[in-house]
Structures are given as C-alpha cells and as structure tokens.
A and B are shown apart, each in its own frame.
Chain A
C-alpha cells in the first residue's frame, strides 16, 4: 500500500539530517544538569527506610530515636500521608508508605528529612520497626494457582482443530532485567509557602505523575506543579512513581526545599523491572513450512503491586506469535501477584519475553522441517493488509517484515576470527581463551511490537506552537529522557514551517496539557505529530496574514520577494496554535482477545555472530547486523543511537543481565554484581533502515525506540546455540549453561 506523507520543506536543521543535539556536548563535558544536580538554598536531604523482608506484618514503628538525632527535620510514616494513601498508574494498590504490612523487599516504610544526606540516612536507620515476618509467595506458578492474578489474557483465533504435519514444543524463560539507567531516581521539592509545591524530577510522564501526586497529597492539582529535571535515562523505570510523593510530603511538612537522590542499591528497590517470564510454546506447520497453529502459555511475575502488569501481559499475549501469519492460535497469559519486587515497564514491554520464545520455536521448526531458518520466517512473514494472527486486526499501516528479513540476510558476514587482540576474544581481558578453543555461531531473529498506547486508551499529545520574534516556540510536557526528542521536535518544526530558529520550552505541567508518556515508542509519532500539525496551522496562518507562499525567519515571501517582513507579520502578536493530537482510536478486546486493539506496528530483524569458548562457556558477541522498520528516519544519527543502544540492552539480557532473587530478596542490587555490557562486550552493529512510511505521524516516521531491544536477545542466544550445540532455553545464558556444568 502507499501512504501519502507531507513533503518536508528543504531547510538546514530539518528532518532527515543528523543534526547535533543541544544536550550532547554538555553531557560529554559533564556540564549537563541532571535531576541529581538540583540545588536550592536551605534545602534538606531526604532518605527512605525500606523493608528488609519480602513479606511481614508491621507491629509497630518507633520514630523517636530518629527524631532525636540533631539535624533531623521530619520523620514521616503512612499516618502522615495527607491524601490518598495509595498510588498506581493502572490500579491504585501500592501504599505511599507501607500500611500495617510490607509486601516486598525494599518497600518504602518511612521517610526522613535532615540537614544533610548522611544525617538523613542515619536517621532512617535509627527508626525502629517491629516486623512479624510471614512466608513470602515468590513462585509465579503457585501464585497463578492461588488466583493471585493481575490480569489473565486469552486469545483464541481460528479453527482450534487445525493440526500441522510437524510439531515443535519448548519451554523458555527470561530473567528479570533492570533498566540500569545511569541516573538514579532523584528530585527536588520546593514548597511555595502557601500550601502548594513545585516538584522538579526525572520522569517519563509528568501529567500521570502529577495526577497521582496531587491525589496522594490531598491537594488541588493546580497547587502542585511538576517540572521535568534533567533525566539520565529511563527505559520504563520512571513510568511508575518512586520518590515523587515522598519529596512533596517532606517539603510541605518542613516548609523547606527537600532533595533526594537514590544510590544505586536503593534504585534497584525503587523502580520496577522487566517481568521475568516462563513460557511454553507449541508450533505446528505443514511440510512446506507454513505455520498452522501456535499455542502458548505465559506466566509473568508481576511482583507485589500491579504497576503496568496488565498491559504488559496483554502485549505478551498479542505478540506471542510474532510477525507471522497463522490460522489457528491459542494463547493464555497471566501476570501474577507475588512478594517479589514489583515488575512493570521496560523497553519492549512484554514483546521482549515472547520473542525469545517464538523465535527459538521458529528455529526448531526450521530444523524439524530441514529448512533454512530465514526461509521459514519469510514464508510466514506478516505484511500490511494481513490480519494479526492473534487479535485478527487488519494491519493498515506499513509492516515491511519480509524486507527487514531479506535485508539482514543479504548483509555480508564479518571476517573470520581476529586473533590479534585478546580483548576481542571470549573472556576478554581475562585471557582465558586461545583461538583454538573458539567456535563461531550465527543466529537470526525477528521482533514485532505495537507503537503507542492500545486497547481504548485515550492516547493524545498536546502542544502549543507559537511563531514569535524569537522564532518558533514549542510548548510540550513530553519528557526528553535522553532519546533526542527535543532535537527531533525542532527538526519537524523547521521542515514544516521553514523557520530555522526553534526553541522547545522546558517541560512542566503548568503551561500545557499532557503529552502522554515517553514510552511505547510513541513520542516521535505523537508529540512529533502534534508539533507537525500545529506547525502546519501556524504556517498557514502566517502565509494568510503575510499574503505569500513561503515562510522563512525573514518573513513571508511571494515568489522571490519578501512581501511581509517578520516584524510586520507579528505586529499584532505571535501566531499561535494549540493542538491535541490523537492516533487512530483503538478498541477493547472481545472475549477471544480480538479487535482493533493497536494503533500501528513495527518490525525488526537481527543477525548475531558470536564466538564461543564452549569449554568455559564464555561468549564474545562479534557483530550484530540489523534492519529496522523506521517509517522515516527524521534524525538518522539518533535512530542509529537507538538501534545500537537497544541492541546492546538485548545483548545484556542474552548473556549477563539478571536480577537475582533469593526468596524475594534481591542479591545483586549493585553495578558490581548486576552486570551490564561494557564497551568491550559491545559488538559492532551494522544497521539498515527500512523507510516505508507509516500512515500517521510526522512525515511517515514510525516510533522505533523499543524494536532494537526485542529481537537482539533471541538472535544472540540462537547464535550461541549454533556454536555450542546446546538447547539454551533461558536468558541470560550463563557460562555454566554453555559448558554444561550443573
């Protein structure tokens, strides 16, 4: 199908150019102000007391010893929460501070404000809590059996009696993954002296935080003002509240500004992680390799509170077949309540876990059929105009599944083993592995996910665009979390209006309505779409007022003549347009999980080449080739950054990243023991951008932040399987799994 997109104005700094981002050099030089750098005169520091137990009753809390410490200004517990004692984005089930019991290790029990950070931490430690520990529920299957379910997602499609000629079955697991954003949770709350408060904080969605914070504080929403501070990465970790309400409570109680910065260990307890999943799949195909039936059973551990478990398990179910056609499907998925730390949003949002399973199955199917694994995928590849195998939704936007597969398959493989530099061998600087011990493997995987919010969610983004003396001003509450959104909004504005000077005003809740979350790969399409629409209106009004056919920073032109200089054009004031941009509406699923649930889709493919020291079980990921469906690359450099970073996050889950839990207690809540890839673990990434324009959004662009993470993990593990000959059904793959030592 062909999608019409607006033609961009040809302008320096417009779309399609890899222009430099404004925060790039300051970040490299260490001059960028992150939320942890905030400061106010006479500010206090906050600290949090957290539960050492995964499950316990609270028989009593004695704060007197903490209050007695010189320099302590306030010690607050659940009794001090002024408004709604609970919060939660989907379901308000999590106490601001624990009420009578704790349900996970690390749950916030009490908060302290003191003259300095160390005093605050000492005071928190001086609070005496009498716990009566209970047996924690930490097994997801047991929780499901006990009916502790946040959401059960069922999909039944097609003739349930269909059977294939070839059947493959497998059980797969993915571990809990941490977002490992480099900036921990931090913020500064400043009371206004009249009962209100300004909160400067790192977040992904100011307005959804704002709604919850005001409710928990029992305040009108207009006296609680939220401002986006410098965000040091997010990846889903900032979708749910952490210290927002605590900071405001302390500031309002003490009448002084209060700052909090979690250390790394506290950060692990302070945000949700990627749901660990146990997944069973049965794939059936005919002798030609056409999928006939897919069955799946998925269990996701949601942890102690609901957070976003509902939509995560729904996504897992809807994408359990992957980007493939299949006439008969049955999927049952559950996100369950346990006493493990809560799990929620992380880049890929349910699509990551199932991709690890269904792509392993596609390889097994290829083996069982004696077919090439790329050929099996191509044979079943979903395309625009097809119906999704699970929900039966007809895909009306672009979906170049076959193109991404073919593009990657056609890329040249890297050279043979380079033995010159031991850092590039398995084991790296540890010098464990001679070249003779290495086997090379190649693996392939395809990933698939929806873009933006789904299932009837009223998904919109507000912006106000003004053409004023200083150029274009964009007001938006969309959170720049490091992905480059401020840069791309400027590019969209330039290419839409012809004005070169663009400023994006820092985001807050005071000047503009919600932009929705910086998540679900949505901001470039949503807030970018809003900027594009508003800029079109501003341009149209400018040309009307100025009586011309072209706008530049000088004014309005007609043919080659400047007919209305900018000063005259704006003599009666700025030209403004406010818009609330929405993507096509989505439906709720019926009892079979069917409906037009999604606003659009994207697809990606990865091919991983690994060198494996099979005897020691050590892996070096040599190269990853990928093709990504991006609609239109508005800033190719930023797109490549997302691809490289997302791919590496997937490599991490493939070979090292895992939050270790022992009876509900996190064992590796530091970067000493929760390992993420270093630059020596980072493969070369070669990327091909497939530009097949999407049906909505600016200039055909498609959200692409999550896709690179989805298929990289299964591609790497498939490559390790190929090198080692082992099944490897769990990510991350550990050395002992490859070496076969249990």
Chain B
C-alpha cells in the first residue's frame, strides 16, 4: 500500500482527495493494531505527523498530532492525569489526541476531559474548516462525524478556572484499557461538570448529577453521596469481557465521589 508522508495540510488533503480509501496515520498505535490483525486494509496511508499545524499546543488548542507524552506536561492537570494512563511510555511517545478522537472508543482516555470541558473538534478539508462540539463529533462507539476528505486538526479548549481531576479504573496498575473513567471540573462558585468514559456507548456527561452538585456551594457528605448516586443512575454501561455493567456502574459512582472530594477546598 502507498504511504504519503505529508509535510503540509495541503499535501495531506490532496492525498485524501486523490484516494477516498486512504487512512490517516499519526502515531499508529490504534491503526497498526487494526492492520496487523487484518481488521483494516487501507488502500493508502497518509501520514500527518510531519504537518506543523497539527502540533499546535497552547492554552486554547491541542493539535491532533500532539502526543500523550506532551499532554502529560500540558497546561491542564486533569488532561495530564488522563494522558499518563494511556498505554506504556512507548505508546505515549507516539500516540496522539487526534488518534484518540478518530478511533472514538468509549474507553478513549482523552475523551472524558474533552467532554467535561466542552471542547470542540476542529476538522479541515478542501471545503474549509468546521468545528463540532465533542458530542456531535463522536456519534457512537468507534464512529465519528469525520467526513470524506477531512482531517482532524485538533481540539479547541475553552478557558477554565477552578479545580479539575481525572481517575480511571483498570484491571492493573498501568497499561490497562479503562473499565470506568471520569473527569471532574469544579470552579470556585461550585459549578461542576463530570464526564465519564467506558460506561456508555460514548463519553457522556452526568447532567443531573452536575446540576444537583453545582447548587451546593459547600456540599455535605449526604450531598456528595447523592451526587455519586445520580451518576450511577445516569450511566449506561454494558457487560463485556473487561467487566460487568454492575461493577462499572458502581465504580462510576465511587470515582465520581472521590473526584469531587479531590476538587473540594
């Protein structure tokens, strides 16, 4: 199969236009597994890791080719905590946020932070640039709104204040696919957002729990318990070979409560 090593967006978009069956390659930590196990046989591959635009990383934007290793040292504490849980050091050195978005696994380690912070996913094609809220970009388990000829440019991150924290339950101390994960943001006024992964078909926000706890400026332990209970009601986990729906629901509540406690003064 042909591989185009694009060094500019133009070059990459040309290659994607020329071959509608082309697959975009950044770190390859998802893609090469699919190829190795025969699940994917792209007619051609467009490597985007040499495109400077995709490496932008500042207070408001994460380029699609930014790696987990870079995010571990990035400006958002909860995002850094999430990045630290992705794979091994070798995986984190090459795996990218763009890949996490493109794969759109319910277990994607970077997605709860993006969901909590209401990130927008920026897509670019020959037709121009468009931005989609995270929940419009991710349309289901491993499916996205990415169109033909489109490349993920990155995620734009709104400003945030207050505290933030991430937690992930896996079957071992590192290098584990998430069984349940969550990211919680809480500002000084008490406004709280909680997003969860691996407990539904795609990353989700527990809106009722958010609403309830945001009204509590100094939540009592009963209020914290109620927050956790609401989270367990809102999640929609399944049984699979990695865990059970019942345990995922339970774990979602426990880590949500603990994240809230980490973010209280």
Contacts and interface: CB of A to CB of B under 8 A. Distances in A.
Given A263-B36, A430-B85, A735 B243 contact: yes
Interface in B134-182: 165-177, 179, 181
Interface string B207-250: 00000000000000000000000000000000001111011001
Contact of B172 (A121, A615, A678, A742): A678
Main secondary structure of the interface of B (DSSP, over half): mixed
Given A430-B85, A432-B258, A736 B243 contact: yes
Contacts of A616: 169, 251, 254-255
A125 interface: yes
Contacts of A681: 172-174
B84 interface: yes
A735 B251 contact: yes
Given A121-B38, A125-B38, A741-B247, A429 B169 contact: no
Interface stretch (A249-257, A277-285, A666-674, A689-697): A666-674
A558 interface: no
A667 B173 CA distance: 22
Contact of A656 (B168, B169, B171, B261): B171
A427 interface: yes
Given A427-B173, A432-B168, A735 B258 contact: no
Given A429-B84, A616-B254, A735 B177 contact: no
Contact of A620 (B168, B171, B173): B173
A675 B262 CA distance: 29
B43 to A, nearest CB: 15
- Max chain A CB contacts within 10 Å: which of B38, B165, B171, B173? B173
Contacts of B167: 427, 430-432
Contacts of A615: 254
B244 A736 contact: yes
A668 B241 contact: yes
B81 interface: yes
Contacts of B175: 678
Contacts of A423: 173-174
A739 B252 CA distance: 13
Contacts of B244: 736, 741-742
A680 interface: yes
A739 B250 contact: yes
A677 interface: yes
A678 B173 contact: yes
B207 to A, nearest CB: 23
Given A678-B174, A678-B175, A736 B247 contact: yes
A618 interface: yes
A672 B254 CA distance: 25
A675 B176 contact: yes
A67 to B, nearest CB: 20
Given A736-B247, A739-B247, A429 B173 contact: yes
A434 interface: yes
Contact of A673 (B37, B84, B241): B241
A656 B166 CA distance: 23
Interface of B: 33, 36-38, 81, 84-85, 165-177, 179, 181, 241-244, 246-247, 250-251, 254-255, 258, 261-262
13 contacts: A265-B37, A427-B170, A429-B173, A429-B174, A430-B85, A430-B167, A434-B262, A615-B254, A616-B169, A617-B247, A660-B241, A675-B172, A681-B172
Given A427-B169, A617-B247, A734-B171, 5 more contacts: A431-B81, A673-B177, A678-B173, A681-B172, A736-B244
